[in-house]
Structure 1
Amino acid sequence: METTAAAVARPSRDAWTSHLRSHGRRVTKQRLAVLDAVDAVPHATAEDTVRQVRSVLPNISVQSVYVVLADLTSIGMVSKLEPPGSPARYEIRTGDNHHHVYCISCGSIQDVPCAVGHAPCLTPSEDHGFQLLSAEVVFRGICPRCQNGGAAAVP
């Protein structure tokens, strides 16, 4: 079975700067702080990201972080994952056709390489004439820690 690469290259500040400018965005301390926060804590919620950013920019508003996250998502610098029954999560890992496994008990999320290795890695029975670009998969299950009684079940 072919899979996507296991090792994921971390983006550099130069790459972030170039990507922002190529999409007509200014390189601001707020944007860089949000990128750093999402890079440091993959699959973090927006609230987690606010806390992380405030460790560097204590006066940034919650609304500013949400606006930056939405903008970075719209230009493909950040991916937004919306697990069932959970707030949206964000990650810096984009464009590599990976998926996620989500623990329905504790909410932990892990990346899962695509089994096919190219987008889209699922083929629908009918595409209705669309040019398919990607498929999002969230595997739901119970993580090893929860299986061993390490976390309380989600109601």
Structure 2
Amino acid sequence: MATSSDFQQMLRGAAMRVTRPRVAVLRAVYAHPHAETDVIIRAVRQELPEVSHQTVYDSLHALTAAGLVRRIQPSGSVARYESRVGDNHHHIVCRSCGVVADVDCAVGEAPCLDASDAQGFTIDEAEVIYWGLCPDCSTATAQGRT
């Protein structure tokens, strides 16, 4: 697990000012992979009870823009944040409970998929979301049929 000094160094490395809210938001994102904003706010408020919603939103936006966290938003879901950045991995989402898990690229490096017609674009990332049922929901569904 990363420490406060690790988070401070990450911020400095991204040419960002080190603030207590930014460090707390980074700690929350690292502690809660694929967390919704409300989960991050609750985690940050355990450390900094006085922090506002807007400060957390602003910190998430700045950290995302700096490439220190990644924002994902599967169809029909609220935005979620994760600390795994820079490797162009994908996600799998349970249709029943909404749990999200990481899935490594199937082939090669970023963008790890080739468009059939890039239409002149220089593609640097591919985003794939797999949908299905997680093991718990699959088991529950199977047990409901018996």
TM-score by length of 1: 0.84
Q: Structure 1 counterpart of 2:136, which letter? A: R
Q: Contact (CA 8 Å) 2:7, 2:27: kept in 1 or not? A: no
Tell me which of 3, 11, 14 is aligned to 1:20.
11
What is the rounded CA distance, in whole Å, between the counterparts of 2:14 and 2:137 in structure 1?
A: 42
Change (3 A) 1:147 1:30: same
The answer to whether residue 105 in structure 2 is matched with residue 148 in structure 1 is: no
Tell me which of 39, 56, 64 is aligned to 1:48.
39
CA root-mean-square deviation: 1.6
Change (3 A) 1:12 1:134: farther
For structure 2, the residue ranges without an aligned partner over 5 or more in a row are 142-146
Q: Contact (CA 8 Å) 1:78, 1:93: kept in 2 or not? A: yes
What is the rounded CA distance, in whole Å, between the counterparts of 1:33 and 1:75 in structure 2?
A: 16
The alpha carbon displacement at 1:13 in A equals 4.5
The answer to whether residue 50 in structure 2 is matched with residue 59 in structure 1 is: yes
Task: For residue 140 of structure 2, give the secondary structure of its aligned residue in structure 1.
Answer: coil
Q: Contact (CA 8 Å) 1:97, 1:117: kept in 2 or not? A: no
What is the rounded CA distance, in whole Å, between the counterparts of 1:38 and 1:23 in structure 2?
A: 17
TM-score by length of 2: 0.89
What is the rounded CA distance, in whole Å, between the counterparts of 2:3 and 2:128 in structure 1?
A: 27
The alpha carbon displacement at 1:122 in A equals 1.1
For structure 1, the residue ranges without an aligned partner over 5 or more in a row are 1-9, 151-155
The alpha carbon displacement at 1:97 in A equals 1.9
- Matched with 1:112 is 103
The alpha carbon displacement at 1:22 in A equals 3.7
